[in-house]
Chain A
Amino acid sequence: MTQLTAVSGANRPIVSLTDVIKTYTLGKVEVPALRGLSLDVYPGEFISIAGPSGSGKTTALNLIGCVDTASSGVVSVDGQDTKTLSERQLTDLRLHTIGFIFQSFNLVSVLSVYQNVEFPLLLQRKLNPKEREQRVMTLLEQVGLDKHVKHRPNELSGGQRQRVAVARALVTRPKLVLADEPTANLDSVTGQNIIDLMKELNRKEGTTFIFSTHDAKVMNHANAVVRLADGKILDRITPAEAQKAMAAGAEGH
């Protein structure tokens, strides 16, 4: 149902990949990471990218997040072909449209929890100090870190750091949130909380989520699972089908 409203609400995809190829060069060796990936994601969708390690999930998210460039093919975000944008415009797109939760947290080590989360708002320069504080504190409460505002990242556990990264990605209320295995470092309860928070944002604000995961429980919350293998899309299925496929895979072993 969510998918229906989303699709009818906007007939233009917020993310559109067309025949995207990404090849890394490691010295003289060419490593193909994506081999002709095509994918449309519509506003309001909650998409899970699944696939074995090395299948290209992170690479795809990096391209969508405009932190890397494709070797060929078209990557469109929010209706704009990223190849045509200047570095400055790409940076603005990352700041205002995209929230990225990196697999390895990537927090600023010299800033406190509060300052890390506040940082994108300072870059945006849209809110006044009071609104800013309110926004940051609300989000920190939602991720359960309101008691840790003054801590530095190195004083937190892995799970707590990840929650800071989530808060930082969501604080600007971006249209599109990318999350690279957002629950990989979390215990199941916290992982559930984070997913619930994302779901709620998705429902209330129509935020589009694309996250990569191996976690079947997390996949359950998606309205579609895109399965990758060897840099290509295997299929696009429902969570239930994914669950079944995974079970079958497990039995096969």
Chain B
Amino acid sequence: MFQLLLIALRNLASHKRRTLLLGGAIAGVTGLLVILMGLSNGIQTTTVETATTLMTGHVNVAGFFKVTAGQSAPVVTAIPALQQQLLQEVPELDYMVQRGRGYSKVVSDTSSMDLVLGGVDIQNETGFRKALMLREGRMEDLEQPNTLLLFEEQAKKLEVKVGDTVTLSSPTMRGTSNTVDVRVAAIAANVGMLSSVYCYLPNSTLRALYQMRDDATGALHLYLKDTADVPAVQARLMKRLPELGHKVLDHNPNPFFMKFETVNREAWTGQRLDITNWEDEISFITWSVKALNGLTVGLLVLLLIIISVGVMNTLWIAIRERTREIGTLRAIGMQRGWVVLMFLFEAFMLALFGTLSGALLGLAVCLGLNAAHITMPMAVQLIIMSEQLRFAVSPVAVAGSIFIITFCTTLVSLIPSFLAARMKPVTAMHHIG
């Protein structure tokens, strides 16, 4: 057994060029795979972290208020009572915040743009500081009324700096426009697609803009201690809130700003609640993550096929070169199975050496790129929901790719090994080439 290993090892060593070439190819594929998975995983983590802080809770209790059938506002009223009920119904709750929802034209001296408004009580929004990186200004300044947080991209377009004043102009249900002047208090680094759509202001200012009552807001974001509880909590609220006397809309897995049309087409008036989870609210962004995952899988399959063909080819050559030797070994009494085993060892060691070094290389690249903090171009930022690439390499994924590639390589080597072992000893011994 040991001798077989020795022969296999020596064979690898005595064909340095071939070993390095094939091992290098396997290493390259493994490394690439690790990097791709790290990227995909990193984007997913960033997206979910950022989006669940900025756009959605783990579970949201939001709603629409309609004065007439065809006009809806993204508003939930009688918040204190609702909050009380939620505290009772959701023991899994970590914390809950109010998030005002609105829509406004933001006008500066030189330019204007349409943005979705998020009303925040910044002192309660513990995740904000983690999810956003400020370029200018202070987060705390949003505690003061009539302030605004913009993203870099927006500030650039509006040509404003911290301290400048812009006017928010929002259409109301009565058909007029309300306006309020706000001071730019903070400018945050872009977070992908979100930073071209959203800006944030204090809840009080948002209420003032829409002349909403104090007990109304856009949505209640519920953050749970464990995200695994999301489906259970959502299902419970769908059942319990109607029992507690609320009218609740059917589940519609889309972000709120895509629901106005549907809601306006329905005949009801008054207040309806809408219960969503974080995946619903960010479904319009997660396509990029899904696409990347698809790409990763596709690439994986393609690479595995290429590698398999390469390995088989190389082993074929290796075995042809050693046919005489195989013949000799068989002639002096080595069973066929042992011959196969010998080549399996060889392929296995090559694959293991390749995948291990490839994984290490991939890991090093991921860590290096993480540390380098490279700012990506705008188009890439849109997809990755962040200014910078972030690689999150999961040990399970790395171990998995090492295993899969090693396994496939070893498996593929079986075919030429079997063919070599099947030859008549004398035929093999007199093989030329």
Tell me if A216 is interfacial: C-beta within 8 Å of chain B: no
- Complex CA distance for A106 and B326, rounded to whole angstroms: 10
Q: A83-116: which have CB < 8 Å to B?
A: 87-88, 91-92, 94-96, 100, 102, 106-111, 115
Tell me if B330 is interfacial: C-beta within 8 Å of chain A: yes
Tell me if B335 is interfacial: C-beta within 8 Å of chain A: yes
Determine whether the beta carbon of A115 is less than 8 Å from that of B6: yes
Q: Which of A65, A87, A100, A108 is B7 in contact with, Cβ under 8 Å? A: A108
Looking across the interface, which residue of chain A has its beta carbon closest to that of B12? A110
Where chain B touches its partner, the secondary structure class is helix
- Complex CA distance for A137 and B216, rounded to whole angstroms: 96
Tell me if B125 is interfacial: C-beta within 8 Å of chain A: no
Query: Chain B residues with Cβ under 8 A from A168's Cβ?
Result: 332
Determine whether the beta carbon of A100 is less than 8 Å from that of B332: yes
Tell me if A36 is interfacial: C-beta within 8 Å of chain B: no
Tell me if B328 is interfacial: C-beta within 8 Å of chain A: yes
- Complex CA distance for A69 and B426, rounded to whole angstroms: 9
Tell me if B167 is interfacial: C-beta within 8 Å of chain A: no
Q: How far is the CB of B15 from chain A (nearest CB, A)?
A: 10
- Complex CA distance for A62 and B425, rounded to whole angstroms: 10
Tell me if A120 is interfacial: C-beta within 8 Å of chain B: yes
Q: Which of B6, B324, B331, B338 is A67 in contact with, Cβ under 8 Å? A: B331
Determine whether the beta carbon of A68 is less than 8 Å from that of B6: no
Query: How many residues on chain A are close to B (CB under 8 Å)?
Result: 29
Determine whether the beta carbon of A111 is less than 8 Å from that of B7: yes
Query: Chain B residues with Cβ under 8 A from A109's Cβ?
Result: 14, 325
1/0 per residue, CB under 8 A from A, across B6-50: the answer is: 110011011000000000000000000000000000000000000
Tell me if B334 is interfacial: C-beta within 8 Å of chain A: yes
Determine whether the beta carbon of A100 is less than 8 Å from that of B6: no
Determine whether the beta carbon of A62 is less than 8 Å from that of B332: no
Query: How many residues on chain B are close to A (CB under 8 Å)?
Result: 25
Q: How far is the CB of B429 from chain A (nearest CB, A)?
A: 6
Q: B289-338: which have CB < 8 Å to A?
A: 324-325, 327-336, 338
Looking across the interface, which residue of chain A has its beta carbon closest to that of B332? A120
Determine whether the beta carbon of B333 is less than 8 Å from that of A62: no
- Complex CA distance for A32 and B6, rounded to whole angstroms: 41
Tell me if B3 is interfacial: C-beta within 8 Å of chain A: yes
Tell me if B373 is interfacial: C-beta within 8 Å of chain A: no
- Complex CA distance for A62 and B427, rounded to whole angstroms: 11
Determine whether the beta carbon of A110 is less than 8 Å from that of B429: no
- Complex CA distance for A124 and B3, rounded to whole angstroms: 13
Q: Which of A87, A106, A110 is B324 in contact with, Cβ under 8 Å? A: A106
Tell me if A122 is interfacial: C-beta within 8 Å of chain B: yes
Query: Chain B residues with Cβ under 8 A from A87's Cβ?
Result: 336
Q: B387-433: which have CB < 8 Å to A?
A: 424-427, 429
Determine whether the beta carbon of B333 is less than 8 Å from that of A106: no
Determine whether the beta carbon of B333 is less than 8 Å from that of A111: no
Q: Which of A65, A67, A110 is B14 in contact with, Cβ under 8 Å? A: A110
Tell me if A26 is interfacial: C-beta within 8 Å of chain B: no
- Complex CA distance for A91 and B328, rounded to whole angstroms: 12
Query: Chain B residues with Cβ under 8 A from A110's Cβ?
Result: 7, 10-11, 13-14
Residue positions of B touching A, CB distance < 8 A: 3, 6-7, 10-11, 13-14, 324-325, 327-336, 338, 424-427, 429
Residue positions of A touching B, CB distance < 8 A: 62, 65, 67-69, 87-88, 91-92, 94-96, 100, 102, 106-111, 115, 118-120, 122-124, 168-169
State the 4 A-B residue pairs at the shortest beta-carbon distance, nearest first.
A95-B333, A110-B10, A106-B328, A67-B425
